[in-house]
């Protein structure tokens, strides 16, 4: 074993790579491109973390537990340390007092009783948990070192299901049981309501674990600088939160840490956390005084990072004979894996339980339960796809029970436009919506009447494949409701040549910010878009920020920039007044302040005074509620169980779309992830807690071959709380798609599988699941 | 395993003399030894296609080839496509059609398409063959529609590729 070396000053003059946004290939100024980002991204000139070259950089590799639950008896690093090129090997014991602990996302919450060390201390709780870290001269050598470490674990009983774990006497954490948190939303529904209702339906659903799978796995490069600071290059969604967490975990002054996000290869919620591996890498870079990077590989990330979803759900709905919903109760056991790092995801499922419906009584009870599986954390939608799936399947069940058209049932229960702002029984306050408008548009575009007739025709025929039509109506929260997270910082600086530099606290991981934010600022100021540039993802340049998640970037960040631009116009006018013109005369248009015969460009005003022409602020942005209706038409091959999606119509309302093309890009991408969830994706575990997929041949992502004909359209209900009017976009596709497809498949398979839906058809709808359902066999029992 | 072997790699018509362990993957040598980081590693087990490069004109997964296998062969990477300040028609098309978001899979798709379509542009006119080709690579952002449109824009009837080069001016 090797002890930690003493803290050293950097031994190499570190070479920080050039800022990403200035790295533009030769000749690119003359190219006409779809987005600004593309000049470097289509030519191979982009700079992702793994592309950054720093002199003397070392590579880290991790040894991970292959046992789901056990006592960690010994970690033998001797052979690894002998390997030529291995600089050091550390287990938790070797780190000693220097071992960092992952800071709690919600200080004071249940997760503080269940601390997550950077390396497992005396217990391993899931396959993939880091047990030791090797630093070597390159990644091959570091991985040789990882292979040479011997880990001795005494197995303990394994819990892979949250319901089972909640009831078990085997506890993952000594002294505290496996239920990390219990939350309630709304008032419990009286028994009398269920007893008196004309109809009560109940469904039980399983949300499989999904691997978020951005094409670039996690990546970090920590560079100790000569001035005593450390630069962290990282693929991340929330650099300021990471900066703060690193400071807390490593007991560093936050000013010493600069977090920079270069080009990022996708995130989908999965790169918003402070990962144990990141703490080890930064700790060792500082101890060694050398740059250390860690580039995760795909096999590692599938079990060693985080998963999304993972819930057992039970839903009851009571309705009168006309289909008016009287009560809705949702119970969730959320599988949070080995460490409860993100209970807020399941809380969202509970808070959102009412969906778009005017149900007078709504109650949700949510438990987060630790199990011997990979921790769960946000994945695109983060709590909303789970809620929408549970409710929309049960609404279809209600329609079948009542013999009602599922579209008409939904229409009868929608919160009407005049009821907004609407406070749901769970305490959630919805801002605005025109739910029936989106439903009607979806039905019209899919030609609902035609497909219902076609379905009847096929049912009369014995030879043709069964056809099904499935609906999903939803309202989702975008941005955040809680005070410190419901704002965003922005600044605008005018340079002497009249250009504008925008800074914003969001952080792109592929969402085209570099294109749309300058467009928005330029449009507001009435100047050409090429006069505006954007800086984000750098904690030195951007003094504070919340980041990019929950579809918040345009709603919160865009609105902040919009407000800042309006303030800049006012500031420019004040400058002109100070230069001697009379206030009532001052006007602003197209980058120029004018008063009578006199006029000043923004550049003139920036140079006229030594005081910089700039505005800066923190702008409040309440949560918003985008919504929509998706309709899927499917046919199912009863012999093979294959599902073919014939049509998918998506009507989304994200308020004012600032750049409709970019919104559409986001929608299609999310829809295809939703198709993956509905039909292909699952990270299954065996009962020993071993994940059953360690590569992309085992974990199936949709390819272009799985793409159905898509029809996208929108309705526009502006965000009533911002002048910009934008609500969030980016996650709706994977919220609306899975229930629409699953409802369509059940509609195709017919009454035989409808039943009560307890133990019924469960995600993903693999050919086996559908074949068993079509053949009337027990399904969902895997 | 650890002996180092001198190899001359010809990448984008430039010779690189590197000394590498036989076990080093072509992708890692391109990225680390030749400083050609445009080729990305998305899965390192030959499934996602992000690391696709052309070797003697054929699209290959550079995570499944050793660099020493490529001595004396003609390697093309994404860095070699734009010439004289002008984009290749498909680079232009994939941007115009929004066939990328995060951009991590883009070089792989670009090399896959260029390798196959320059050999046989008729693939663009046959939806089944085109889907077959494009389904060998994975993208998690775009939902693929833009990538398909980009192939048609560049290589379809009246495609921009026929006009030899980019639309930019």
A33: CB partners within 8 A, 6+ apart: A39, A42, B92, B95, B96, B168
Nearest CA in chain A to B77: A44
Rg (CA), chain A: 27
Q: How many CB atoms lie within 10 A of CB A158?
A: 22
Local confidence band at A481 (pLDDT 50, 70, 90 cut-offs): confident
Looking at residue B90, what is its pLDDT?
Answer: 97
Count residue pairs from A and B with Cβ separation < 8 A. Answer: 183
DSSP code at position B31 = I
Q: What percent of chain A has pLDDT over 90?
A: 87
Residue B168 has pLDDT above 80, yes or no: no
Chain B partners within 8 Å of A509 (Cβ):
102
Q: What percent of chain A has pLDDT over 70?
A: 94
Looking at residue B169, what is its pLDDT?
Answer: 37
Residue A342 has pLDDT above 60, yes or no: yes
Check CB contact under 8 Å for B87 and A42: yes
Fold of A431-478+625-774: Aldehyde Oxidoreductase; domain 4 (3.30.365)
C-alpha to C-alpha distance for B25 and A272, rounded to whole angstroms: 31
Residues 321-340 of A with CB under 8 A from B: none
Q: Is A665 on the interface with B (CB under 8 A)?
A: yes
- Output the six-digit token pair for A45: 């000139």
Asked if B105 contacts A704 with a C-beta cutoff of 8 angstroms, the reply is no
Q: Is A138 on the interface with B (CB under 8 A)?
A: yes
Helix, strand or coil, per DSSP, at residue A414: strand
SS (H, E, C) A504-566: ECCCCCCCCHHHHHHHHHHHHHCCCHHHEEEECCECCCCCCCCCCCCCHHHHHHHHHHHHHHH
Looking at residue A5, what is its pLDDT?
Answer: 47
A6: CB partners within 8 A, 6+ apart: A287
Give domain limits for chain A: 431-478+625-774, 483-620
C-alpha to C-alpha distance for B59 and A478, rounded to whole angstroms: 42
C-alpha to C-alpha distance for B28 and B68, rounded to whole angstroms: 12
CA A527 to chain centre: 34
- Output the six-digit token pair for A503: 């800074």
Looking at residue A750, what is its pLDDT?
Answer: 78
Nearest CB to B102: which of A509, A661, A662?
A509
The residue among A315, A324, A240 whose CA lies nearest residue A274 is: A240
The residue among A656, A488, A608, A664 whose CA lies nearest residue B142 is: A664
The residue among A335, A299, A355, A317 whose CA lies nearest residue A476 is: A355
DSSP code at position A29 = G
Looking at residue A654, what is its pLDDT?
Answer: 97
Q: How many CB atoms lie within 10 A of CB A759?
A: 13
**What is the mean predicted confidence (pLDDT) over B32-43?**
96
Residues 403-422 of A with CB under 8 A from B: none
Residue A725 has pLDDT above 90, yes or no: yes
Residue A562 has pLDDT above 70, yes or no: yes
Residue with tokens 């009369």: A460
Residue A780 has pLDDT above 90, yes or no: no
SS3 content of chain A, % helix, strand, coil (to 5): 35, 25, 40
Looking at residue A65, what is its pLDDT?
Answer: 98
Local confidence band at B162 (pLDDT 50, 70, 90 cut-offs): low
> Per residue in B117-144, is it b (16+ CB within 10 Å) or e — as a string?
beeebebbeeeeebbebbbbbbbbbbbb
- Chain A nearest C-alpha distance from B65 (Å): 15
Residues 94-113 of B with CB under 8 A from A: 94-98, 100-107, 110
User: Which of A23-37, A57-71, A402-416, A426-440 bottoms out in mean pLDDT, i.e. has the lowest?
Assistant: A23-37
Looking at residue B143, what is its pLDDT?
Answer: 97
Region at A251 (left for phi over 0; alpha for psi -120 to 50; beta for the rest): left
C-alpha to C-alpha distance for A77 and A148, rounded to whole angstroms: 7
C-alpha to C-alpha distance for A338 and A318, rounded to whole angstroms: 36
Looking at residue B167, what is its pLDDT?
Answer: 44
Distances (CA, A) of A34 to A264, A659, A662, B97, B109: 18, 12, 10, 7, 17
Looking at residue A271, what is its pLDDT?
Answer: 98
Local confidence band at A1 (pLDDT 50, 70, 90 cut-offs): very low
For A483-620, CATH number out of 3.40.1620.10, 3.20.20.70, 3.40.50.800, 3.30.365.10 equals 3.30.365.10
Output the pTM of the full model. 0.95
- Chain A nearest C-alpha distance from B3 (Å): 13
Asked if A72 contacts A120 with a C-beta cutoff of 8 angstroms, the reply is yes
C-alpha to C-alpha distance for A47 and A345, rounded to whole angstroms: 32
Region at A691 (left for phi over 0; alpha for psi -120 to 50; beta for the rest): beta
Check CB contact under 8 Å for A38 and B135: no
Q: Is B152 on the interface with A (CB under 8 A)?
A: no
A196: CB partners within 8 A, 6+ apart: none
Chain B partners within 8 Å of A737 (Cβ):
none
From first CA to last CA, the distance across chain A in angstroms is 44
Q: Is A29 on the interface with B (CB under 8 A)?
A: no
Q: How many CB atoms lie within 10 A of CB A361?
A: 18
Nearest CA in chain B to A26: B85
Residue A759 has pLDDT above 60, yes or no: no
A567: CB partners within 8 A, 6+ apart: A615, A617
A361-370 and A325-337: which strand pairing?
A: parallel
C-alpha to C-alpha distance for A149 and A190, rounded to whole angstroms: 58
Residue A581 has pLDDT above 90, yes or no: no
Residue A10 has pLDDT above 70, yes or no: no
- Chain A nearest C-alpha distance from B43 (Å): 5
Nearest CA in chain A to B165: A31
C-alpha to C-alpha distance for A611 and A496, rounded to whole angstroms: 12
Asked if A89 contacts A81 with a C-beta cutoff of 8 angstroms, the reply is yes
Check CB contact under 8 Å for A265 and B102: yes
**What is the mean predicted confidence (pLDDT) over A134-159?**
98
C-alpha to C-alpha distance for B125 and B157, rounded to whole angstroms: 8
Check CB contact under 8 Å for B102 and A671: no
**What is the mean predicted confidence (pLDDT) over A370-394?**
98
**What is the mean predicted confidence (pLDDT) over A37-47?**
95
- Chain B nearest C-alpha distance from A361 (Å): 39
Looking at residue A582, what is its pLDDT?
Answer: 66
- Output the six-digit token pair for A68: 């789901």
Q: How many CB atoms lie within 10 A of CB A635?
A: 21
Local confidence band at A719 (pLDDT 50, 70, 90 cut-offs): very high
Local confidence band at A585 (pLDDT 50, 70, 90 cut-offs): confident
Chain A partners within 8 Å of B31 (Cβ):
50-51
State the DSSP string of A419-435.
G-SEE-TTS-EE----H
Number of C-alpha atoms within 13 angstroms, CB side, residue A180? 31
Backbone angles phi, psi at A466, to 5 degrees: -65, 140
Q: Is A37 on the interface with B (CB under 8 A)?
A: yes
A541: CB partners within 8 A, 6+ apart: A503, A535
Q: How many CB atoms lie within 10 A of CB A195?
A: 9
Check CB contact under 8 Å for B104 and A697: no
Asked if A439 contacts A474 with a C-beta cutoff of 8 angstroms, the reply is no
Asked if A97 contacts A29 with a C-beta cutoff of 8 angstroms, the reply is no
Q: Is B77 on the interface with A (CB under 8 A)?
A: yes
Local confidence band at A9 (pLDDT 50, 70, 90 cut-offs): low
The complex scores an ipTM of: 0.96
C-alpha to C-alpha distance for B43 and A214, rounded to whole angstroms: 10
Nearest CB to A661: which of B37, B95, B98?
B98
Helix, strand or coil, per DSSP, at residue A215: coil
Beta bridge partners of A90: A133
Identical topology for domains A431-478+625-774 and A483-620 = yes
**What is the mean predicted confidence (pLDDT) over A18-47?**
80
Domains of chain B with CATH codes: 5-80 (3.10.20.30), 89-163 (1.10.150.120)
Nearest CB to A707: which of B28, B86, B144?
B144
A627-636 and A466-475: which strand pairing?
A: antiparallel
Q: What is the pLDDT of residues A535-550, one digit of tens each?
A: 999 999 999 999 999 9
Residue A89 has pLDDT above 70, yes or no: yes
Q: How many CB atoms lie within 10 A of CB B83?
A: 11
Residues 188-217 of A with CB under 8 A from B: 213-216
C-alpha to C-alpha distance for A457 and A353, rounded to whole angstroms: 37
Chain B partners within 8 Å of A215 (Cβ):
40, 42, 48, 50, 102, 104-105, 138-141
A591: CB partners within 8 A, 6+ apart: A498, A525, A526, A527, A531, A601, A602
Check CB contact under 8 Å for B106 and A511: no
Distances (CA, A) of B60 to A126, B17, B108, B109: 36, 21, 10, 12
Residues belonging to chain A: 782
CA A580 to chain centre: 51
Q: Is A277 on the interface with B (CB under 8 A)?
A: no
Asked if A540 contacts A257 with a C-beta cutoff of 8 angstroms, the reply is no
Residue A777 has pLDDT above 80, yes or no: no
Local confidence band at B163 (pLDDT 50, 70, 90 cut-offs): low
Residue A324 has pLDDT above 50, yes or no: yes
**What is the mean predicted confidence (pLDDT) over A730-758?**
83
Asked if A466 contacts A458 with a C-beta cutoff of 8 angstroms, the reply is yes
Q: How many CB atoms lie within 10 A of CB A711?
A: 14
Chain A partners within 8 Å of B44 (Cβ):
297-299
Mean pLDDT for all residues in chain A: 93
Q: What is the pLDDT of residues B119-143, one digit of tens each?
A: 999 999 999 999 999 999 999 999 9
Check CB contact under 8 Å for B95 and A25: no
**What is the mean predicted confidence (pLDDT) over B66-84?**
95
Residue A482 has pLDDT above 90, yes or no: no
**What is the mean predicted confidence (pLDDT) over A393-419?**
97
Q: What is the pLDDT of residues B76-104, one digit of tens each?
A: 999 999 988 899 999 999 999 999 999 99
A58-64 and A130-136: which strand pairing?
A: antiparallel
């Amino acid at each position: 074993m090797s002890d930690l070396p003493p803290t050293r000053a950097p031994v190499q003059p570190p070479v920080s790579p050039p800022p990403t946004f200035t790295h533009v290939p030769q000749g690119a100024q003359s190219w006409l491109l779809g987005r600004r980002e593309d000049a470097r991204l289509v030519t191979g000139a982009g700079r992702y973390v793994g592309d950054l070259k720093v002199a003397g950089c070392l590579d880290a590799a991790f040894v991970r537990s292959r046992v789901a639950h056990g006592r960690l008896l010994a970690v033998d690093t001797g052979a690894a340390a002998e390997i030529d090129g291995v600089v050091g090997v550390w287990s938790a014991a070797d780190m000693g007092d220097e071992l960092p602990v992952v800071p709690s996302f919600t200080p004071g919450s249940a997760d503080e009783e269940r601390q997550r060390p950077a390396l497992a201390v005396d217990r391993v709780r899931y396959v993939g948990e880091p047990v030791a870290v090797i630093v070597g001269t390159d990644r091959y050598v570091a991985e040789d070192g990882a292979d040479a470490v011997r880990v001795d674990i005494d197995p303990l009983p394994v819990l892979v299901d949250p319901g089972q774990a909640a009831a078990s006497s085997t506890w993952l954490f000594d002294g505290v049981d496996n239920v990390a948190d219990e939350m309630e939303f709304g008032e419990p529904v009286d028994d009398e309501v269920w007893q008196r209702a004309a109809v009560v339906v109940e469904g039980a659903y399983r949300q499989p674990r999904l691997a978020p799978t951005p094409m670039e796995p996690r990546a970090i490069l920590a560079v100790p600088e000569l001035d005593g600071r450390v630069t962290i290059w990282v693929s991340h969604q929330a650099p300021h939160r990471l900066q703060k967490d690193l400071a807390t975990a490593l007991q560093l002054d936050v000013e010493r840490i600069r977090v920079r996000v270069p080009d990022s290869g996708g995130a989908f919620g999965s790169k918003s956390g402070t990962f144990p591996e990141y703490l080890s890498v930064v700790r060792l870079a500082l101890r060694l005084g050398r740059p250390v990077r860690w580039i995760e590989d795909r096999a590692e990330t599938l079990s060693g990072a985080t998963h999304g979803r993972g819930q057992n759900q039970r839903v009851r709905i009571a309705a009168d004979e006309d289909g008016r919903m009287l009560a809705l109760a949702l119970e969730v056991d959320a599988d949070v894996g080995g460490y409860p790092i993100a209970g807020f995801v399941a809380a969202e499922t509970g808070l959102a339980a009412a969906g778009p419906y005017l149900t007078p009584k709504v109650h949700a009870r949510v438990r987060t339960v630790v199990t011997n599986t990979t921790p769960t954390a946000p994945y695109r939608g983060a709590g909303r796809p789970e809620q929408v799936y549970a409710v929309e399947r049960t609404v279809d069940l209600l329609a079948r029970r009542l013999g009602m058209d599922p579209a008409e049932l939904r229409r009868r229960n929608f919160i009407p436009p005049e009821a907004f702002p609407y406070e749901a029984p769970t305490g959630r306050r919805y801002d605005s919506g025109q739910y029936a408008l989106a439903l009607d548009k979806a039905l019209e575009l899919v030609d609902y009447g035609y497909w219902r007739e076609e379905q009847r025709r096929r049912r009369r025929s014995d030879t043709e494949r069964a056809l099904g039509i499935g609906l999903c109506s939803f309202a989702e929260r975008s941005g955040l409701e809680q005070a410190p997270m419901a704002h965003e910082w922005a600044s605008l600086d005018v340079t002497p040549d009249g250009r504008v530099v925008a800074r914003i606290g969001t952080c792109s991981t592929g969402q085209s910010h570099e294109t749309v934010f300058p467009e928005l600022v330029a449009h507001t100021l009435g100047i050409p878009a090429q006069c505006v540039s954007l800086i984000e993802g750098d904690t030195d340049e951007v003094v504070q920020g919340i980041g990019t998640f929950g579809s918040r970037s345009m709603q919160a960040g865009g609105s902040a920039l919009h407000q800042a631009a309006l303030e800049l116009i006012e500031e420019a006018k004040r400058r002109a007044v100070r230069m001697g013109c009379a206030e009532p005369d001052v006007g602003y248009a197209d980058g120029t302040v004018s008063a009578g015969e006199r006029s000043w460009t923004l550049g003139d005003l920036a140079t006229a005074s030594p005081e910089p022409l700039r505005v800066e602020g923190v702008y409040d942005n309440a949560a918003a509620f985008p919504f929509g209706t998706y309709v899927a038409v499917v046919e199912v091959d009863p012999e093979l169980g294959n599902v073919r999606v014939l049509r998918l119509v998506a009507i989304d309302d994200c308020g004012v779309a600032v750049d409709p093309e970019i919104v559409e890009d986001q929608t299609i991408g999310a829809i295809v992830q939703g198709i993956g969830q509905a039909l292909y994706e699952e990270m299954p575990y065996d009962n020993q807690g071993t994940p059953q997929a360690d590569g992309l041949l085992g974990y199936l992502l949709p390819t272009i071959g799985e793409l159905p004909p898509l029809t996208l359209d929108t309705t526009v209900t502006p965000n009533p709380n911002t002048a910009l009017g934008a609500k969030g976009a980016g996650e709706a596709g994977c919220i609306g798609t899975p229930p629409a497809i699953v409802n369509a498949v059940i509609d195709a398979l017919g009454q035989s599988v409808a039943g009560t839906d307890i133990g019924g058809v469960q995600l993903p709808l693999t050919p086996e699941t559908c074949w068993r359902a079509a053949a009337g066999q027990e399904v969902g029992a895997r | 395993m650890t002996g180092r072997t001198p190899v001359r790699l010809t990448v984008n018509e430039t010779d690189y003399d590197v000394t590498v362990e036989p076990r080093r993957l072509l992708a890692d040598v391109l990225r680390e030894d030749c400083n050609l980081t445009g080729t990305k590693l998305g899965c390192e087990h030959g499934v996602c296609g992000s690391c696709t490069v052309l070797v003697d004109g054929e699209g290959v997964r550079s995570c499944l080839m050793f660099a020493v296998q490529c001595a004396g062969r003609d390697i093309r990477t994404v860095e070699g496509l734009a010439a004289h300040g002008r984009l290749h028609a498909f680079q232009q098309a994939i941007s115009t059609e929004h066939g990328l978001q995060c951009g991590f899979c883009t070089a792989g798709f670009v090399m896959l398409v260029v390798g196959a379509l320059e050999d046989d542009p008729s693939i663009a006119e046959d939806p089944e063959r085109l889907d077959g080709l494009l389904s060998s690579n994975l993208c998690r952002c775009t939902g693929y529609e833009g990538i398909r449109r980009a192939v048609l824009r560049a290589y379809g009837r009246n495609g921009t590729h026929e006009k030899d080069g980019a639309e930019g001016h």
